[in-house]
Amino acid sequence: MEFTPREIVGELDKYIIGQQSAKKAVAIALRNRWRRQQVDEELRDEISPKNIMMIGPTGVGKTEIARRLAKLANSPFIKVEASKFTEVGYVGRDVESIIRDLLRIAISMIKNEFGNSVKQKAIENTEERIVDLLLPATPKYSSIEKDYEEEKNSTREKIKKLYKDKKFDDKSVEINIKESKPTIEVFSAIGMEDMDFNIRDMLENIVPRKNKTKKVKVKDAYNIILMEEIDKLIDMDKVVEEAKRRVEQNGIVFIDEIDKIVSGGKGGGPDVSREGVQRDLLPMIEGCSVNTKHGIIKTDHILFIGAGAFHIAKPSDLIPELQGRFPIRVELNSLTEEDFYRILTEPKNALTRQYTELLKTEKVNVVFEESALKAIAKISFKVNELTENIGARRLHTVLEKCLEEVSFDAPDMGGREVVIDDKYVYEKLDNVYKNEDLSRYIL
């Protein structure tokens, strides 16, 4: 299904409060991918994605917007932190490993999709194999083979029916399983991370995997055999080809903390390789060919989303060439008290709903009154002002502290209902958030 920009923003609104300019920017970027596919093939390769730079403090939804966008588009997605990479020649990861990791994620994703498409056939094959294990041994007398075949077919149907009725779940059977591959660690030089996988595969293939017999219950044997059958039915060559295509055409790379690779201009110390990281990132973002164990991946049409708080550095401090590769810039606003209240009530995965469902597993029914939600929003906003502003993540710490006693006592509460109102919230948190020194440690 192809979403219009308005529909994309509508889907993002279900999980992320506010930040409409950022949502619009990513919605247009995603729609442009669909538009590009409709263009004549001659021009299609000439149209490059318009990469996005998100500027805003932590906890305001930068990563969540990108992650939800990738899920919506069913695109391979990877989040990396720019500060973990380094210019070649210094200690740290090579930037090209981002694309290799993205391809691995895509292969796993496509394998799951292919697995779902063959699952029904795999289930049928698994049931037949388990019935074979449950059948009595074949007689060795050829004179009664014909009679035996008829009896065997009849017995097989009976056993199959009993198996489907779960009558054999606790019966033990012997199955042959392949031993797992030995783990061989290979340490590669900087810039050659992909070589260790090729060497590891080669060394692991030298040591043959042996079959071993294991006695398990039928219900456990089902899962083991099902995974084997799914693997047999999946064509890994097709999986890899589709994964490569999807990475090149639909991949999304989210580079967080991109402001941390801006040099402070001191010219030495820890800043020495920061500009080098930008220069190493540049060809990948411009479009280049990256060598992986599964072949060459072209990065020309991968969407790159950069993000950073830019408290100290400014986007204009990035090297000019890299600035030019992020033509769309959107600023995300700090969250207000009203935003906190909406975050607690509106999203499909609202924190209050998460806590309510968690405690329901202990048969404790937690009810949040509106006054409580407003109190939690107010305290979270105030603590962010008094201490470090960590955005919506503050709600996690405040709610956890508020519900600490209920969470601890829940197994012994015997199905009680707990009503959380503003009085309850202030009783649990008032002393902490009013004491600035204490709130720095506790909240």
> If you average pLDDT over residues 48-74, what whole number do you get?
90
Q: Is pLDDT above 90 for 76?
A: yes
The amino acid at residue 350 is A
> If you average pLDDT over residues 130-145, what whole number do you get?
63
Tell me which CATH code domain 5-105+245-331 carries: 3.40.50.300
Answer with the residue of higher pLDDT: 188 or 360. 360
Q: Is pLDDT above 70 for 436?
A: no
CB 225 within 8 A of CB 126: yes
Rounded Cα gap, residues 127 and 295, in angstroms = 38
Rounded Cα gap, residues 188 and 167, in angstroms = 53
CA-to-CA separations, 414 to 363, 417, 418, in angstroms, rounded: 7, 9, 12
Q: Is pLDDT above 60 for 193?
A: no
Q: Is pLDDT above 90 for 136?
A: no
Q: Is pLDDT above 90 for 247?
A: yes
Digit-coded pLDDT (tens) for 202-225: 655 666 666 778 788 888 888 888
Beta strands in 218-285 (DSSP E): 252-256
* CA nearest neighbour of 306 among 73, 9, 22, 32: 22
Q: Is pLDDT above 50 for 195?
A: yes
* CA nearest neighbour of 302 among 20, 88, 103: 103
Rounded Cα gap, residues 388 and 390, in angstroms = 6
* Partners of residue 291 on adjacent β-strands: 296
In whole numbers, what is the pLDDT of the chain averaged over residues? 83
- Kindly write down the DSSP assignment for every residue of 163-197, as one continuous string: HHTTTTTT-EEEEEEEPPPPP------TT-TTHHH
Answer with the residue of higher pLDDT: 316 or 441. 316
Q: Is pLDDT above 60 for 190?
A: no
pTM of the complete model: 0.80
> If you average pLDDT over residues 260-267, what whole number do you get?
66
The amino acid at residue 362 is E
Please give the structure tokens belonging to residue 213.
Answer: 């017999």
Give the 3-state secondary structure of residue 96.
coil
H or E stretch covering 355:
helix 351-360
Digit-coded pLDDT (tens) for 82-108: 888 765 545 557 888 899 999 999 999
Beta strands in 41-191 (DSSP E): 52-55, 77-81, 172-178
CB 382 within 8 A of CB 397: no
Q: Is pLDDT above 80 for 53?
A: yes
Rounded Cα gap, residues 76 and 113, in angstroms = 13
Q: What is the pLDDT of residue 443?
A: 66
Q: How many residues does the chain have?
A: 443
Domain segments of the chain as ranges: 5-105+245-331, 114-241, 337-434
Rounded Cα gap, residues 26 and 49, in angstroms = 11
> If you average pLDDT over residues 39-52, what whole number do you get?
88
* CATH class of the structural domain 337-434: mainly alpha
Share of the chain above pLDDT 90, in %: 34
CB 364 within 8 A of CB 413: yes
Q: What are the strands of the beta sheet with 303-308, ordered from one edge?
A: 77-81, 252-256, 303-308, 52-55, 328-331
> If you average pLDDT over residues 138-161, what whole number do you get?
64
* CA nearest neighbour of 355 among 433, 428, 413, 420: 420
Q: What is the pLDDT of residue 23?
A: 93
Digit-coded pLDDT (tens) for 336-390: 999 999 999 999 889 999 999 999 999 999 999 999 999 999 999 988 888 878 8
Q: What is the pLDDT of residue 96?
A: 87
> If you average pLDDT over residues 424-430, what whole number do you get?
87
